[in-house]
Structures are given as structure tokens and as C-alpha cells.
């Protein structure tokens, strides 16, 4: 951003640490929120902004300490998420890209302060579009037990979630994607012959044309095409429930409690596991079964998923983190399965 590079504006994390400059910025931020969020009680806004358990990412002009906008949030380090409470840009400074830049600063900063993987917020109808552009979704994969009762819920608001992508520096994401695109094009052009122009075929000049061996067409053989490729049978179609299965699998993988079940249990690390567990199952194996089209009903898919949780409780003690993770993922799967199955049935009753 040009203004940031020229030091016309700055982004800074601000806490109520008693420092004069921090107090000035927090006060300016409070005024922005009170003006831009008129439905919020003014006293409540001030209480949250100055609260020592909350923090803010502030956008301001360093020459005058004039606050342009910001985000106030509350971190829950033990639960690995933050709640975005307020987010606003001054009405005179909007449509300049400040909102997206502000959120990217917050993502990079928050991740540097601890193991925080998720953003949650309650967005009104006017804010949903902005949050979607910043990677938020209304599909909440974080277990309700993790966040329910911890974040502030407002009447008429929609809970939204953003899952941070590991090893991504959000402030550089546009440059990173552009560089990847350039690298991909260079690799393609290194092997591609699409720039070679071959002479046209003369056989079409004869009335009715003439038979021709396809392999004699200039450039065709170099593409790797052979007549056998055209004779290969197409792969059989996937089960009509394929999309439902893959959606459930992706949702489980993105859940906070999925970490023990992503891959098959390694017998070198877990001694005696396969002596006790005779029908092992994990999300990787589940994916392979889906791709092999082994599930032809939601019941058969659900039976294999249930093996993950039953095996977990059979092998682990109730006090272990693995046992608790299995229960958490099971609750999420059952709720999500019912939700998606209902939606699928409404669209096509023959599927379920």
C-alpha cells in the first residue's frame, strides 16, 4: 500500500498499557466505533476498547495520531481463537483498501503472539460482505463447545469464522500468488510448443477431403496423443453422494479436534494399537474409500466414520486428550451430517 510505504498511515497493535500514546489511539478508536456503529451503546463501546483483556489493531496517521480505523478483539489463547468485537473505518477514509490491509495486519500479528488459529465474529447484514472478502465464512467448523458462551452474540447478527492458513504471510499474499502464477507460466512455457505454428493441411482442398493418418499431422505426435487415448473407456461416474461425502470429510479435517485422526496410526509410535483395534479407520483411509467409490449410502459412510470414534474410545482412557478429541469430532460430525443430509434431501429426495 502506497500510503503505508510513505508513512502517511501506520498499523499498530494497541493495548491499554497506560502509555499516553496508547490512550490517545484507543480514544480515537473508540470515537470511530461510536460513530460508525451507532446501534452499539456508547458506554459499552468504551468499556470494551479500554478493557485490558481486549486489544486493538489500529490504523492511524503518525503525523497527528489521528485514528482512521481499527479492529478491537479479544484473544482466547487456551481455545486457539480470537473474537473480533468491533471493526470500522472512518467514513471519510473508506474505499481505499484500508479494511483489507487492516485485517491482514491483524492476521499476521495475532499469529505471532501465540497459537491462535481461528477468528470468530458476529457480523450484521452490512458487514457480512466485508468479512467474506477477508476469508470469513458462515460455515462454522470450530466446535461450539470451544466458543459458545465466550463470544458476544448480538440479536440479528451472523456468526462467521476465518481459519488461518499455516505458513502464509497475509501481508504478502498478493505478491506470493503473483509470483506463483509467474513461476507456473514459466514452467508451462518451458515444455509447451503452443508457440510453434505449423503449416495448414492440403487434404481439405480436395472435394470431399482425403483420408489421413492422424499421426502425420504436424505437431500432433509431439503432444503425446495416441489413438489408444481416444479408445480408453471413460471412468465410471462417482456415486451421487460423492459430493456429500467429500464435503463431510473436508469439514471434519478442518475441525479443531481432527488432529489425532488425520492419518493411520503409526504402530512404531503407538505400541500394541493393532493388537487391540481390529478395524482401524482414519480420515486418510476414508478419503481413499470415497475416491474408490466404496460408499453407496450415507449409512455405509457413517459406519466407517463411527469406527474412528469407537476405536478412539476403545484404546484411550476417558481423561486423555485423544478421547476428548474423539468425542468432540463425533458430536460435530453427527450434527453436520444431519444438516447436510437434510439439505441434500430437499434438493433431491432420491439421494438420501
DSSP state string for 292-331: TT---SHHHHHHHHHHHHHHHHHHS-TTSHHHHHHHHHHH
- Can you tell me the distance from the alpha carbon of 298 to that of 305, in angstroms, rounded to the nearest whole number? 10
Domain 242-347 fold = Histone Acetyltransferase; Chain A (1.20.920)
The pTM score is 0.56
Of the candidates 83, 93, 139, 347, the residue annotated as catalytic is 83
pLDDT tens for each residue of 9-58: 999 999 999 999 999 999 999 999 999 998 899 999 999 999 999 999 99
Percent of the chain surpassing pLDDT 90? 60
Tell me if 138 sits within 8 A of 160, measured CB to CB.
yes
CATH code of the region 2-171:
3.40.630.30
In this prediction, residues 258-273 reach a mean pLDDT of 91
Tell me if 148 sits within 8 A of 85, measured CB to CB.
no
pLDDT of residue 345: 73
- Can you tell me the distance from the alpha carbon of 75 to that of 109, in angstroms, rounded to the nearest whole number? 12
- Can you tell me the distance from the alpha carbon of 74 to that of 85, in angstroms, rounded to the nearest whole number? 7
Tell me if 295 sits within 8 A of 241, measured CB to CB.
yes
pLDDT of residue 92: 85
pLDDT of residue 351: 54
User: How would residue 235 be classed by pLDDT, with cut points 50, 70 and 90?
Assistant: low
pLDDT of residue 65: 95
Tell me if 281 sits within 8 A of 311, measured CB to CB.
yes
Partners of 57 in beta bridges:
13, 71
In this prediction, residues 88-96 reach a mean pLDDT of 87
In this prediction, residues 238-249 reach a mean pLDDT of 86
Any idea where the domains of the chain sit in the sequence? 2-171, 242-347
Average pLDDT, the chain: 89
Q: What is the DSSP letter of 197?
A: P
pLDDT of residue 133: 92
The answer, yes or no, to whether residue 265 has pLDDT greater than 70, is yes
83: annotated active-site residue: yes
Residue with cell 481461528: 118
Amino acid at each position: 500500500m502506497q500510503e503505508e510505504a510513505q508513512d502517511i498511515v501506520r498499523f499498530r497493535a494497541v493495548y491499554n498499557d497506560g502509555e499516553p500514546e496508547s490512550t490517545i489511539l484507543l480514544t480515537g478508536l473508540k470515537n470511530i466505533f461510536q460513530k460508525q456503529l451507532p446501534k452499539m451503546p456508547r458506554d459499552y463501546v468504551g468499556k470494551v476498547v479500554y478493557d485490558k483483556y481486549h486489544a486493538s489493531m489500529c490504523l492511524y496517521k503518525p503525523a497527528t495520531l489521528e485514528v482512521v480505523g481499527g479492529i478491537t478483539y479479544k484473544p482466547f489463547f487456551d481455545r486457539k481463537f480470537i473474537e473480533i468485537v468491533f471493526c470500522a473505518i472512518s467514513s471519510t477514509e473508506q474505499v481505499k483498501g484500508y479494511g483489507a490491509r487492516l485485517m491482514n495486519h491483524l492476521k499476521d500479528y495475532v499469529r505471532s503472539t501465540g497459537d491462535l488459529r481461528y477468528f470468530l465474529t458476529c457480523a450484521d447484514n452490512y458487514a457480512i460482505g466485508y468479512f467474506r472478502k477477508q476469508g470469513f465464512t458462515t460455515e462454522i467448523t470450530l466446535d461450539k463447545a470451544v466458543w459458545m458462551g465466550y463470544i458476544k452474540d448480538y440479536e440479528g447478527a451472523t456468526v462467521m469464522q476465518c481459519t488461518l492458513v499455516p505458513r502464509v504471510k497475509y501481508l504478502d499474499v498478493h505478491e506470493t500468488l503473483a509470483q506463483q502464477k509467474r513461476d507456473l507460466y514459466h514452467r508451462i512455457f518451458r515444455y509447451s510448443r503452443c508457440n510453434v505454428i505449423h503449416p495448414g493441411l492440403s487434404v481439405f482442398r480436395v472435394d470431399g477431403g482425403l483420408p489421413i493418418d492422424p499421426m502425420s499431422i504436424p505437431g500432433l505426435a509431439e503432444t503425446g496423443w495416441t489413438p489408444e487415448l481416444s479408445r480408453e473407456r471413460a471412468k465410471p461416474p462417482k456415486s451421487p453422494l460423492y459430493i456429500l461425502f467429500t464435503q463431510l470429510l473436508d469439514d471434519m479435517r478442518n475441525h479443531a479436534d481432527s488432529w489425532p485422526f488425520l492419518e493411520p496410526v503409526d504402530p512404531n509410535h503407538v505400541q500394541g494399537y493393532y493388537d487391540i483395534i481390529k478395524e482401524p479407520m482414519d480420515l486418510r483411509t476414508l478419503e481413499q474409500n470415497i475416491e474408490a467409490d466404496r460408499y453407496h449410502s450415507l449409512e455405509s459412510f457413517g459406519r466407517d466414520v463411527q469406527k474412528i470414534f469407537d476405536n478412539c474410545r476403545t484404546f484411550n482412557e476417558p481423561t486423555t486428550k485423544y478421547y476428548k478429541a474423539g468425542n468432540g469430532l463425533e458430536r460435530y460430525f453427527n450434527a453436520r451430517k444431519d444438516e447436510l443430509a437434510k439439505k441434500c434431501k430437499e434438493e433431491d429426495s432420491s439421494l438420501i
